[in-house]
Amino acid sequence: MRIRECGDSMLLVELASVIDPLVNTRAIALATRLRDRQARGVRDVAPGYCTIGVHFDPLQTDLLALEAAIADEAALVETMVTELSQAPIEIGVIYGGEAGPDLAAVAERAGCTPADVVERHTARTYRVYMLGFVPGFAYMGRVDATIAMPRHRVPRERVPAGSVGIAGEQTGVYPVASPGGWQLIGRTSTVMFDPTRSQASLLAPGDEVRFVPLAGSCR
Amino acid sequence: MSLGALEVIRPGLLTTIQDLGRYGHQAVGVPVAGPMDGFSHRLANHLVGNDPAAATLEITMIGPELLIEVDTTMAIAGALFEASCDGQAVPIDTSFAVQAGQRLKFGRLVQGARAYLSVAGGIRTDGVLGSRATHLVSGMGGLSGRALMPGDRVPVLAQTASRPVRKGVGLTLPTGRRARLRVVPGPQDDWFQSGALKALVGVSFRISPRSNRMGYRLEGPPLARLDERELVSEPVGMGAIQVPTSGEPILLMADRQTAGGYPKIGYVITADLPLAGQLAPGDFIEFAVCSRQGAVAALIAHERQLLRSADMKDGS
């Protein structure tokens, strides 16, 4: 564990430099523990894949005490071995056609049929490693290596809300219409983010997700 | 107090509702937003007796024309505009009383880029996730998550008791369209070739036209990375100077995303972010290296300046 200073208002806690479920479990647990301490001056605690951002007001924060608290909590989460698997959240998706304009190209690149891509994408349970890009956008992994795809070199100017995409070994759902470079294989009508709900984001770090093919999907 | 409004006659170039930002939801990817120049936002609030967290209007480059529908007290801080109320010049960094039916007009921008208009009691739009700050890309907060448009009605309170005229000491604005910003190196300054930090502080960077509230793209000599390894995406904050593979740095500002995968050579210190917020495309930035202790000392000096405003007798 290493604590790096990011200017005067943020600390970056580095547990490692990998994308790994166990390290990610520890990062999420550490972020939760730090948030629960409600230390004076701390404005926000956000986990990444293997790091935690601690945002604070430098005029209200006892930095030495904060660093000591991080070290204490980090020692506790480092003994965590594995997280109990929870019931996955199911997201219904229409694959292919207008809903997934890149499905055919992904299949061609993978050397299989579009139906094979759908089968491989829906066969796995994905872990939400972190959220970012826009509110409620979850970076999930990992997809079957045979359907892992690089991003478009030139991003689309507008990806419709609900689009399900692949980028490298990651998969994700665009919560709102936005520019984006992921390979779009389908679309969901599930509302990923709604700030008026008691839980604004459908997905949180550490959640597990399964995609379910809906009628109308490419077969 | 009864609810009234400021009616938008002309919105200006980019006028948004901002408060101190939407903290507490970065774990699910919700950006903080908030003022580009937090010092002037807070000063404007202080001058009318508001809490620093009250919402103000952030006014960018070309200011609005507003029809005031309530008797209240206002203040303008930050960029120096020629502003007038029913043709009468209004002072900067000083509170002033207005009456229902008056028109507040922003004219020529003299210096800086962003002004903050505060109203006694604050702007009273509904909050989203605990904040009224507008985040333009995600369409969250403010008025329908967007910049003001003609015909919008910005909700404010009618004032019941008059407030004393208060005068403050404003931010020292950039002169000659350039500013010097202090930087604490890290967290990935070791990802760059040994001369990169020197290259960062040795020259002027020009703010690209492709800059906005999310960040300033900086044109200058590329900052050479040691190698092409990929950083695992990690949380970022305002003031981060991230460097994509092109070597062209991006200074992350108020509407930044919550995380990013580019290495950061340094972070601009909090005390200098308001000055950065007073820059516009085409302006120049020079960076200087600073310690974290120096950064905190500069911030304390800033806070002292903010509190060095005094009540004046009406009419003085």
Q: Domains of chain A: which residue ranges? A: 2-80, 89-213
Q: Is B300 in CB contact (< 8 Å) with chain A? A: yes
B70-127 pLDDT, tens digit per residue, is 999 999 999 999 999 999 999 999 999 999 999 999 999 999 999 999 999 999 999 9
Please give, rounded to a whole number of angstroms, the shortest distance from the CA of B69 to a CA of chain A.
Answer: 30
C-alpha dist (Å) from residue B309 to A207, B169, B275: 50, 6, 19
Please give, rounded to a whole number of angstroms, the shortest distance from the CA of A6 to a CA of chain B.
Answer: 6
Residue contacts between A and B (CB atoms, under 8 Å): 145
Kindly tell me if the per-residue pLDDT of A85 is higher than 80: no
A19 contacts on B by Cβ (under 8 Å): 232
Q: Which residue in chain A has the smallest CA separation from B236?
A: A53
Residue A9: CA count within 13 A, CB half-sphere: 19
Q: Is B133 in CB contact (< 8 Å) with chain A? A: no
Of A38-47, A79-88, B169-178, the poorest mean pLDDT is in A79-88
Choose the closest CB to B233 out of A9, A43, A49. A49
Domain A89-213 maps to which CATH number in 3.90.1150.10, 1.10.150.450, 3.30.70.330, 2.40.100.10? 2.40.100.10
- The dihedrals phi and psi of A40, each to the nearest 5 degrees, come to -55, 130
Q: Return the H-helix or E-strand segment holding A21.
A: helix A21-37
- Quote the CA–CA distance of B30 and A136 in Å, as a whole number: 7
Nearest Cα to Cα of residue B272 among B173, B198, B202: B173
Q: Residue B160 has what pLDDT?
A: 75
User: In 3-state terms, chain B is what percent helix, strand and coil (to 5)?
Assistant: 15, 35, 50
The verdict on a CB contact (< 8 Å) between A8 and B186 is no
Please give, rounded to a whole number of angstroms, the shortest distance from the CA of B287 to a CA of chain A.
Answer: 14
Kindly tell me if the per-residue pLDDT of B312 is higher than 80: no
Average pLDDT over residues B162-183: 93
Q: Residue B316 has what pLDDT?
A: 38
Q: Is B35 in CB contact (< 8 Å) with chain A? A: no
Find out whether B131 and B142 touch, Cβ atoms under 8 Å.
Answer: no
Q: Which residue in chain A has the smallest CA separation from B29?
A: A132
Q: Return the H-helix or E-strand segment holding A14.
A: strand A10-14
Please give, rounded to a whole number of angstroms, the shortest distance from the CA of A55 to a CA of chain B.
Answer: 8
In CATH, B178-305 is 2.40.100.10: yes
Choose the closest CB to B27 out of A43, A47, A193. A47
The verdict on a CB contact (< 8 Å) between A48 and B292 is no
Tokens 């009456």 belong to which residue?
B99
| 3-state SS, residue B277 | helix
Q: Residue B314 has what pLDDT?
A: 43
Q: Residue B311 has what pLDDT?
A: 61
Find out whether B4 and B69 touch, Cβ atoms under 8 Å.
Answer: yes
Q: Residue B307 has what pLDDT?
A: 79
B137-147 pLDDT, tens digit per residue, is 999 999 999 99
The verdict on a CB contact (< 8 Å) between B270 and A176 is no
The verdict on a CB contact (< 8 Å) between A48 and B31 is no
CATH number of this structure's domain A2-80: 3.30.1360.40
Residue A110 vs residue B314, higher pLDDT? A110
Choose the closest CB to A7 out of B24, B239, B257. B239
The verdict on a CB contact (< 8 Å) between A201 and B28 is yes
Task: Look up the ipTM and state it.
Answer: 0.95
Choose the closest CB to B187 out of A4, A50, A139. A4
Question: For residue A15, which amino acid is it?
Answer: L
Q: Residue B225 has what pLDDT?
A: 86
**How high is the mean pLDDT of chain A?**
94
Question: For residue B170, which amino acid is it?
Answer: G
Choose the closest CB to B270 out of A9, A18, A205. A9
B207-237 pLDDT, tens digit per residue, is 999 999 999 999 998 888 887 778 889 999 9
**How high is the mean pLDDT of chain B?**
93
Domain residue ranges in chain B: 2-158, 178-305
Q: Is B266 in CB contact (< 8 Å) with chain A? A: yes
- Quote the CA–CA distance of B131 and B139 in Å, as a whole number: 13
Q: Residue B257 has what pLDDT?
A: 95
